[in-house]
A and B are shown apart, each in its own frame.
Chain A
Amino acid sequence: NMKDEKRLKPVFALVDDGNHKQALQQLDKILKKSPGVNQAIALKALCLWRLKEREREAVSMVCSLIDCAVEDETVLGLISTCLREMQQYTLLEELYTKLVNKNPKDEELLSALFMAHVRTENFMCQRQRALQLNKVFNQGHTDRPYYLWAVASVLLQAKTDSVDGAALHLPLAKKMIEKSLQQSENAGNIVKNSQLELMLLVLEQENKIQDCLDLFEKHGKFLNKEVLIIKRRRILDYLKLLNNHEKIYNLCVDFVKTPCEIDWFTIQCLIENCIVLHKNNDSILPSTQQILKKLYDENPQSIDYNFAMIELERQCLVHKIKESPKELCESLKHFYLHFGCKPCFFSYIQTSLKFVSDHPNSFLQDEASLIEPENSYTVNGLYRLQAYYEVERYCARNGWSCEKLKEKSDKLLHFYNGYLQLSKHLETTEPQFCTKLLLLSVHYLLDVFVQNRKTKEEENIHIIWQCIDLLEKAKSISNYDEQILIPLIKLYMYLGLAVPSTEIYTQLQVKQFLHESISYMLSSRMSDYGFLEESQCLNISIQKYFAESVHSLKEFIVTAFKNGAFRQIYDMFDWKCTLRNSFTLVKSALDRFSIDMYLNIEEVSEDLFKGIEDLLIDDDRFSNLEDHRDIMVMYDWDQESLSCQSHSVQNITYQLDKQWLQIKRRILQSFMLAIKAMLTKESNIKISHALQTTKLNFEAACEQCNKVVSDISCDFSQVLHHPFFVYTTGPEIFFKMKLDQLYSLLFEIFILVSHSKFSSNCIETKELDSVFQKVEEICTNLTDIVENSICEQFTRENDGVVYPQKLTRFQLLTESLFYSTLCIHIISEYAFKSDKGAMKKCVAHLLTVSECLNGKINGTLKSIHACSYETFTSESHVKEMVIESYSESFKQVSSFRLKINKLLKSLAH
């Protein structure tokens, strides 16, 4: 009524301003006086949801109002908003179905119902509603898109239905869109872009590419919203799919006649198709050379036209049309002379370098001639010098001695310091001109580190600190340059220093989707080094980003429908799967659960249990993973040189990470099953069987991991031990693989105890005893493994220096402790229940294992904590962060150990 509306008006204003807390207070007052005001209830639900308070209550409040929505438009609007934000799409569908049944001729409600179906991906209903809308409301209003909505719905059904998609839905979609086009043409209406786009999508899905091109030709004003350059690209893309090389070539020759409209894609197509056609046409190569030369002659200032000539030379070498790189060398020489002063010079020629890597100096100027006199440095001179050293690093450092590498590093540092004067006028928020010189210097130092990795550990750790010092100084001059910040994050993480890494990461202002592409640098090792809380924060923000993204994608698919942007619907639909299949997402979920287990081992909550179980059994999520890390985000002169055969650094590290994720999954799964066996009162046969299957899966994952390792024939130490390649698993994978024996034994124990619990009701004590005896044997083995196998990986203990290996050891010991403690916990449950002496012996053995691990962790932590890191860095704020990092790590792991000790004591009593 009017009175309620008047009282609610300021509340609506508060909600609109995002002042939900205050709105909630007002609403409580209103509802106290008049508890039945539906608008107030709906508003309260919305506020609670947005404040993330009492979310379940908010959902049930909205559910209780669904029936009232039919009567009140404002309540309907509020409920609709709530249900969308709460992602209760099925309820939204139910709500609008009810409303439409009551008002079948209401256009707004019907289209809202259509959109509700879009959110639940109910394609069949989408089509029905769209046709209904078209039938009722499109009489005389041909501009309404309802019929096209129906076609797009059928098309999406065709795309997603692997059984009937091609045979049933696709032909239907085609028939429908053909009818629509025909009608438009007969009525003399302009054929719309969205109609044509849908027709193209149908034809593309049918793989009828020639028909797509015919459609382009038929409609002269085709896709009138698109600009020339995009239209051309689409034509060339279709022709590429048809392998119509001759037509592509001729078209490109035609296109390049108007130089102002040439884009690189056209030049690329011209070159690629010239190479293909060359087999049957000897004259095409010289004529293409002529075309490119003419373009360059007419535009001698253009780096791109000059580069086009180089690209043609390179393609000739790739396809073995030419054997000698002599001409390429000549072209590069010219290119360097004219464009060596461009900052992008190196990225242009990078792919050509492998053909001339034996003689890079043949096309570069003499080094000495590049060195400008001090006090007269120029930006162009700097870029030319930089280009020289980039090429040299890429091509020539193989086989260099440590001395030579150090000498090169010093030289580059000298130039860097000199050229800093060019940047005096720049703000600290701007990148410096000469950063690449510093980065090259750091890279050379790290080459020394990698070369000395096995022999001179103490000296080596100084190198890492030296690099950190150089980068920290550069950061103080240019504090937002990501090319300085990213290597710093990597180096700090390499040393297990989460505090400075996190601080710099925050400085990068990584937001939203950037998480997906670069958060791996931080999340890869944080929890391993004992930073459980920080790691959880990162995992939570990554998962939040994914959840919000998938939600907003649904809303924008709805928007795209409204705008007739059908191709974008396709793109967003695919991207939803891309997000869901993200390796980062699955890994962060697994990590988050593992850490929750760490922190809640005394009592695993039902929610946590269910969450872990749901994730672990979802085979699809683990088999369709996609890697979205952007490892090219950092300037890098090593990527290609470290790669081997067909394996890129991205591929190598991803393959290993993926296998390691499977291993982790199976280990966590075994614990979940063991806990389930412990808690359940019913038969354990199924669990025992599931454990055996998990064990087989675990073994298969280990085997697969070993296979990946042996398949990749390059020198792993180059890739995985490089401090800049801080990937998810890194070198630890090799150490962790040593734990497989330990894990196998734990599996055995779980299988035996879960079986014995079931059996204890029906088998003889003798048999039970033999089971326990077997467990005891395994436990003895376990002690041996922990004592010998793991510990022998690390030989130097008390030298007071922080070695990354020591951190690895710390991480392994913590992990083993966690697993063994869980094992004790589980076995003790049986031991006390069945009160068997043999079982108690097993527990005693496990206690020894755990204490042994505990002692070793303590020792390792102490030696890390007490190390003399002060000697490594001159930056005082860095020293502080180092101390803070190790103290924090120490604190968090100590608290975890205290928890375990408490648990052990309670078991002993």
Chain B
Amino acid sequence: MTTIRQFTCDDLFRITRMNLDPLTETYGLPFYLQYLAHWPEYFLLAESPSGDIMGYIMGKAEGSVARETWHGHVTCVTITPEYRRRGVAAKLMAILEEASDCKGCYFVDLFVRVSNRVAVVMYESFGYVVYRRVLDYYNGDPDEDAFDMRKAMSRDVELKSVVPLDKPVLSSEVE
């Protein structure tokens, strides 16, 4: 059980431990501020009963309603090692999905390294499916493919948004 609340600017001073984790990306300050200014309802923090920061989620809503691509996107979800395997990520994801449903999104999506099996399995357990493979999405040495995983929201009654594509796509083809 956690206390979930909206992320505030001051919280940037309190997420040091989480962001020192090598697998958690620390972005430039403008990146966080952009999310706070654009999509504050998608930027949430989880605190433990003892007051520790357990994790946070940062996301956005984008796409076009006309083309039925209006969707929620998970940009980053990270949990402190001590509080992993406690359902905190699931809770944060569920709230983001709820917010996306409120906004009338067709689906929620996220990108994950194909090598990150633990994360892929976790997202599958949350109801996400691999919609497509994106070639060389992650820059590095070597580049790495990503899975674009999706979960349909209630607006997508026919579940059209989550029908997997047959072939992989190039990262340049991803909106």
A residues sitting closer than 8 Å to B (CB atoms) are: 224-230, 233, 262-265, 267-268, 302-305, 307-308, 311, 343-344, 347-348, 350-351, 429, 431, 480, 482, 508-514, 516-518, 545, 548-549, 552-553, 555-557, 559-560, 563, 565, 567-568, 571-572, 574-575, 578, 628, 630, 632-633
Q: Are B26 and A225 in contact (CB under 8 A)?
A: no
Q: Which of B1, B10, B33 contacts A578 (CB 8 A)?
A: B10
Query: CA A548 – CA B1 in complex, angstroms?
Result: 37
| A347 touches which of B13, B27, B82 (Cβ 8 Å) | B82
What is the CB-to-nearest-CB distance from A328 to chain B, in angstroms, rounded to a whole number?
16
Contact present for A263 and B13 (CB under 8 Å): no
Contact (Cβ within 8 A) A556 B33: yes
A559-B38 in contact (CB<8A): yes
Contacts of A267 in B (CB 8 A): 1, 49
7 A-B pairs with least C-beta separation: A304-B1, A575-B9, A482-B20, A559-B37, A560-B37, A556-B33, A480-B22
Identify which of A225, A268, A508 gathers the most chain B CB atoms within 10 Å of its CB: A225
Residue B6 CB within 8 A of the other chain: yes
Cross-chain contact B9 with A572 (CB below 8 angstroms): yes
CB-based contact A482/B3 at 8 Å: no
Across-interface contacts of A227 in B (CB, < 8 A): 41, 95, 98-99, 102
Let me know if A568 and B40 touch, CB within 8 A: yes
Judged by a CB distance under 8 angstroms, whether B30 is at the interface is yes
Q: Which of B66-125 contact A (CB under 8 A)?
A: 81-83, 86, 95, 98-99, 102-103
Residues 8-48 of B at the A interface (beta carbon under 8 Å): 8-10, 12-14, 16-17, 19-23, 26-30, 33-34, 36-38, 40-41, 47-48
A233-B5, A572-B36 known; A630-B13 Cβ under 8 A: yes
- The reply to whether B83 and A344 form a contact with Cβ atoms under 8 Å apart is yes
Partner among B4, B16, B22 whose Cβ is within 8 Å of the Cβ of A263:
B4
B50: CB under 8 A from chain A? yes
- B interface residues with partner A (beta carbon < 8 Å): 1-6, 8-10, 12-14, 16-17, 19-23, 26-30, 33-34, 36-38, 40-41, 47-50, 52, 81-83, 86, 95, 98-99, 102-103
Asked whether A311 and B49 contact (CB < 8 A) given A431-B81, A513-B12, A571-B9, the answer is: yes
Asked whether, in the complex, the Cβ of A230 is within 8 Å of the Cβ of B4, the reply is yes
Known: A226-B41, A228-B98, A263-B1. A350 touches B50 (CB 8 A): yes
Contact partner of B22 among A262, A304, A429, A571, CB < 8 A? A429
22 contacts between A and B (CB under 8 A): A226-B99, A228-B98, A229-B95, A230-B5, A233-B5, A262-B1, A263-B1, A264-B47, A344-B86, A508-B20, A509-B26, A516-B13, A517-B13, A518-B16, A548-B29, A555-B30, A556-B34, A560-B36, A560-B37, A572-B9, A572-B37, A575-B10
Q: A431-B81, A517-B13 are in contact. Are A263 and B3 (CB under 8 A)?
A: yes
Which B residues lie within 8 Å of A225 (CB)? Answer: 41, 99, 102-103
In the complex, what distance in Å separates the CA atom of A666 from the CA atom of B22? 42
Nearest A residue (CB) for B84: A343
Residues of A within 8 A of B27 (CB): 512
> With A512-B28, A556-B30 given, is the CB distance from A348 to B50 under 8 Å?
yes
Taking a contact as CB atoms under 8 Å apart, the answer to whether B3 and A567 are in contact is: no
Which of B23, B36, B83, B103 is the one whose CB lies under 8 Å from A571? Answer: B36
CA distance A116 to B2 in the complex (A): 41
Shortest A145–chain B CB gap in Å is: 14
CB distance from A770 to the nearest CB of B (A): 56
- Give Cα distance in the complex from A557 to B34, angstroms: 9
CA distance A233 to B20 in the complex (A): 30
Q: Which of B33, B49, B82, B95 contacts A304 (CB 8 A)?
A: B49
List the B side residues contacting A305 at CB < 8 Å: 1
The reply to whether B26 and A344 form a contact with Cβ atoms under 8 Å apart is: no
The docked-state distance in angstroms from the alpha carbon of A549 to that of B82 is: 31
**Given A482-B20, A633-B16, residue A572 in contact with residue B33 (CB < 8 A):** yes
Task: Evaluate contact between A264 and B19: CB separation under 8 angstroms.
Answer: no
Q: Are B38 and A565 in contact (CB under 8 A)?
A: yes
Residues B40 and A517 in contact, CB atoms below 8 Å apart: no
Chain A nearest CB: distance from B54 CB in Å? Answer: 9
- Greatest chain A CB density within 10 A among B26, B29, B82 is at B29
A559 to B39, CA, bound (A): 11
Is B20's CB under 8 angstroms from A514's CB? yes
| A574 and B14 alpha carbons, distance in the complex (Å) | 17
Contact check, A268 vs B1: say whether CB atoms are below 8 A apart: no
Contacts of A510 in B (CB 8 A): 20
- In the complex, what residue of chain A is closest to B1 when comparing beta carbons? A304
A residues less than 8 Å from B21 (CB atoms) = 482
The residues of A that contact B95 with a CB separation of less than 8 Å are 227, 229-230
A223's nearest neighbour on chain B, judged by CB, is B41
Q: Which of A265, A545, A548, A556 gathers most chain B CB within 10 Å?
A: A556
Given contacts A224-B102, A575-B10, is CB(A563)–CB(B1) below 8 Å? no
Q: How far is the CA of A559 from the CA of B48 in the complex (A)?
A: 32
Q: Separation in Å of the A565 CB from the closest CB of chain B? A: 6
> For residue A563, which residues in chain B have a CB less than 8 angstroms away from its CB?
37-38
- Residues in B with CB closer than 8 Å to A348 are 48-50
**Do B33 and A552 touch across chains, with their CB atoms under 8 A apart?**
yes
Contacts of A304 in B (CB 8 A): 1, 49
Q: Is B33's CB under 8 angstroms from A511's CB?
A: no
CA distance in complex: A560, B36 (Å): 8
B49 nearest CB neighbor, chain A only: A264
When distances are taken between beta carbons in the complex, the residues of chain B under 8 Å from A303 are 86
Question: Residue on A with the closest CB to B21?
Answer: A482
> How far, in angstroms, from A557 to B81 measured CA to CA in the complex?
34
Provide the residues of chain A in CB contact with B20, threshold 8 Å. 482, 508-510, 514, 633
CB within 8 A of A630: which of B8, B16, B49, B52? Answer: B16
**Residues of chain A contacted by B48 (CB below 8 angstroms):** 264, 344, 347-348
Q: How far, in angstroms, from A556 to B28 measured CA to CA in the complex?
A: 13
Which residues of A lie under 8 Å from residue B98 when comparing CB positions? Answer: 227-228
Task: Report the bound CA distance from A265 to B6 in whole Å.
Answer: 13
B-chain residues with CB within 8 Å of residue A574 when the two chains form the complex = 9
Measured CB to CB, the nearest residue on chain A to B14 is A630
Q: List residues of chain B with CB within 8 A of the CB of A565.
A: 36-38, 40
Chain A min CB distance to B111 (Å): 20
Q: Which residues of B contact A302 (CB under 8 A)?
A: 1
Task: Find out whether the CB atom of A514 lies under 8 angstroms from the CB atom of B16.
Answer: yes
Given contacts A227-B99, A230-B4, A514-B19, contact A556 B36 (CB under 8 A): yes
A112 to B38, CA, bound (A): 18
Q: Which residues of A contact B83 (CB under 8 A)?
A: 344
Partner of B29 from the list A311, A431, A512, A568 (CB cut-off 8 Å) is A512
Given the complex of chains A and B, what is the CA–CA distance between A568 and B30 in angstroms?
14
Residue of A nearest to B61 (CB): A225
| Contact between chains at B13 and A513 (CB < 8 Å) | yes
Task: Please state if B13 and A230 are interface contacts (CB–CB under 8 Å).
Answer: no
Q: Are A511 and B81 in contact (CB under 8 A)?
A: no
Nearest Cβ in chain A — how far from B102, in angstroms? 6
Assess the B4–A229 pair: CB atoms within 8 A: yes
Say whether A552 contacts B30, CB under 8 Å.
Answer: yes
Q: How far is the CA of A350 from the CA of B52 in the complex (A)?
A: 12
Cross-chain contact A264 with B36 (CB below 8 angstroms): no
Candidate in B2, B16, B30, B81 with the most chain A CB atoms within 10 angstroms: B16
- Would B9 and A578 count as touching, CB distance under 8 A? yes
- How near does chain A come to B142, taking the closest CB pair, in angstroms? 17
- Closest approach, in angstroms, between the C-beta of B12 and any C-beta of chain A? 5
Which of B36, B82, B102 touches A568 (beta carbons < 8 Å)? B36
What's the minimum C-beta distance from A310 to chain B, rounded to whole angstroms? Answer: 10
Which residue of chain B is the closest to A486 with respect to CB atoms? B20
What chain B residues lie within 8 Å of A578 (beta carbons)?
A: 9-10
Q: Is the CB of A568 within 8 A of B37?
A: yes
| B8: nearest chain-A partner, CB-CB | A571
Q: Which residues of B contact A226 (CB under 8 A)?
A: 41, 99, 102
Complex Cα distance, B130 from A258, in Å, reads: 32
Measured CB to CB, the closest approach of chain B to A194, in angstroms, equals 12
List 14 additional contacts besides A517-B14, A572-B37; criterion CB under 8 Å.
A225-B41, A225-B99, A267-B1, A344-B83, A344-B86, A347-B82, A480-B22, A509-B20, A512-B28, A556-B33, A556-B37, A571-B36, A574-B9, A575-B10
